[in-house]
Structure 1
Amino acid sequence: MLDRFVVVPAAYVFLLRDGAAGVEVLLQLRRNTGYMDDHWAAAAAGHVEKGETAYDAARRETLEELDVTGLDLEFVTSMQRTASGEPIDERIDFFFTARTWSGTPRIVEPHKCAELRWCPLTDLPTPVVPHELSVLTGLLAGTTSPYSTFGFDS
């Protein structure tokens, strides 16, 4: 039998709104997570659980992390991602945006999130988690596609 690696799925939600400087995205400053701490990232994101669709995971994560419901999700891209060529690091990330929702986003997990900030897509804080920055750059430029990759040599 062949040794096979596991691909880990995750869902990301970028809440968007129109601001004085153009389109703004809600980002969180990660802390105490063990991954990309002190980086800005999607305000809501997490692993897709067994038996759950990426859409369901996006809604669940947004409720758990921001106390927001009623998302009108728009699919942006599925990103196949790797790191250092190690098979264990294979990921499939599903990115969504939402421009309408119910509730006011707030930090629900202060032990994992140091700050929430609305940021113009044209003036993002630094550093942003690199693969998420790739999607945000595509959103700004209007160049996202249904399938994208990150971390591969070719």
Structure 2
Amino acid sequence: MVGMVPPRFALIPAVYILLLREAPGAGPASKGGPASSPQVLLQLRRGTGFMDGYWASGAAGHVEAGESVVAAAVREAREELGIDVGAAGLEPLTGMHRSNDVGGAALEQRVDFFFAARSWTGEPRIMEGTRCAGLRWFALADLPEPVPPHERVVLERLAAALDGGAPVPAILPFGFDGERIERCAVARPR
């Protein structure tokens, strides 16, 4: 081991903004009946080199040097969707700590901050046509295929929480050797 330089560890932060709305024409639950499934805006990725052809969060991206995760979320919504969510319009959902090298050395890890937004200024539209092949609203209870696996975990947990299930855990590990999300999720204090 003398003279060997250990591999460098990298932790890469990113933000995900999930725009949520009620289905058009849907109202709240009435007389004990279920409410319609909320919808989430997803983008069809292309030309990025990562998960192209997948339906992913409407807006997402890396946190820039010296930038807070909240400022990054506001910036990404503006850059990718042409909308203003404002910091006050962001609802923190979960933090996900994940590895892209399942069962490997995990030298590159990600920390993803997921936010929901239920109100914004402007109409979501494609702002980066070379990176996005389409925008579409989907019911959380009926997600398309394919969705990046780490995002699907959050979307499915959010759908269950909005349907009266357990809240989305504050922290979700994903992709580490042998770990299962159900076992490792750190619950929010009640």
**Residue 139 of structure 1, CA deviation:** 0.1
Q: 2:54 aligns with which of 31, 39, 57?
A: 39
Cα displacement (A) at 1:87: 2.9
Cα root mean square deviation, aligned: 1.4
Superposed displacement of residue 144, structure 1? 1.0
1:115 pairs with 2:134: yes
Contact 2:15-2:60 within 8 A present in 1 as well? yes
Normalising by structure 1, what TM-score? 0.95
Following TM superposition, by how much is the alpha carbon of 1:3 offset from its aligned partner in structure 2, in angstroms? 5.2
CA distance in structure 2 between the partners assigned to 1:48 and 1:22 by the alignment = 31
2:89 paired with 1:78: no
Match of 2:15 among 11, 15, 20: 11
Unaligned runs of 5+ in 2: 27-35, 162-166, 180-190
Alignment of 1:26-65 (within 5 A): 26-65=41-80
Q: Which residue of 62, 66, 88 corresponds with 2:81?
A: 66
Q: Which has the higher contact order (CA 8 A, sep 6+)?
A: 1
Q: What are the within-5 Å matches in structure 2 for residues 102-141 of structure 1?
A: 102-141=121-160
- CA distances 1:125-150 after superposition (whole Å, capped 9, x unpaired): 10001100000011011141111111
Q: How many residues align?
A: 154
Structure 1 or 2: more strand by fraction: 1
Consecutive unaligned residues of structure 1, counting only runs of 5 or more, are none
Q: What TM-score comes out, normalization by structure 2 length?
A: 0.77
Give the fraction of aligned pairs with identical amino acids, expressed as a percent.
50
